[in-house]
Chains A and B, each alone.
Chain A
Amino acid sequence: NAGVTQTPKFQVLKTGQSMTLQCAQDMNHNSMYWYRQDPGMGLRLIYYSASEGTTDKGEVPNGYNVSRLNKREFSLRLESAAPSQTSVYFCATSFKTGNTEAFFGQGTRLTVV
């Protein structure tokens, strides 16, 4: 049982390059989330998808786009990477939004040079 799978695990980009972070879950959850983790700032919500076919902005959406491809997959795209986007990115899922536990992937460590 894989749970929440993120790819890639590590990535180095040059400023201005684009890339897509992939997230897939086999938990049959309705809601999916993208967070970024920076030292001393905890996890901040970038975008989330309450259910298939919907996406909403979180606290720090600028510079990112998302696609909820189907119930299982939720991707995060950086169109033109900037050094300020150097971070660890986590995908999470939950059965629904609100009062339910979220399950996290192992993270993607992204460095933008």
Chain B
Amino acid sequence: AQSVTQLGSHVSVSEGALVLLRCNYSSSVPPYLFWYVQYPNQGLQLLLKYTSAATLVKGINGFEAEFKKSETSFHLTKPSAHMSDAAEYFCAVTSDTGRRALTFGSGTRLQVQP
């Protein structure tokens, strides 16, 4: 079985500050990890994904995440927050065995203060 834990249901940062959204996973097989973003009243769109190549993954809109196997983590970061980053962010895990569908965390709502 696989699962994802996102620490912090709400995170608030000032515009220009570092964004750090935390994700820890549990998987008995090599995982594939994803970050999705959801803007109000919209579906989810992919920010970035880890698929066992480089451990530091760069995504859209200046976001990046680092896969750390020893810590079972895949935290999302952005050096400088922009007002347009305000949204809900979901970490998800899957693998090439078992159900092979995305399992999502509970989400983190990011607020950006001017």
Contacts and interface: CB of A to CB of B under 8 A. Distances in A.
Interface string B45-72: 1100101000000000000000000000
Interface string A17-50: 0000000000000010101000011111100101
Contacts of B42: 106-107
A42 B107 contact: yes
Contact of A99 (B9, B32, B43): B32
Contact of A98 (B90, B94, B103, B106): B94
14 contacts: A42-B107, A45-B101, A48-B101, A90-B43, A92-B102, A98-B94, A98-B95, A98-B100, A99-B32, A99-B51, A101-B49, A102-B102, A106-B43, A107-B41
Given A104-B45, A106-B43, A40 B106 contact: yes
A83 interface: no
Please classify the interface of chain B as helix (H, G, I), strand (E, B), loop, or mixed, using the class held by over half of its residues: loop
A58 interface: yes
Smallest CB-CB A-B distances: 9 pairs = A104-B43, A97-B100, A42-B104, A98-B100, A98-B96, A42-B106, A43-B104, A104-B44, A99-B32
A62 B22 CA distance: 31
Interface in B7-64: 9, 32, 34, 41-46, 49, 51
A105 B26 CA distance: 27
B34 A101 contact: yes
Contacts of A99: 32, 51, 94-96
Contacts of A90: 43-44
A56 B100 CA distance: 11
A41 B99 contact: no
Nearest to B90: A42
Contacts of B105: 42
Contacts of B101: 31, 33, 45, 48, 58, 97
Contact of B43 (A41, A98, A105): A105
A45 B103 contact: yes
A56 B101 CA distance: 11
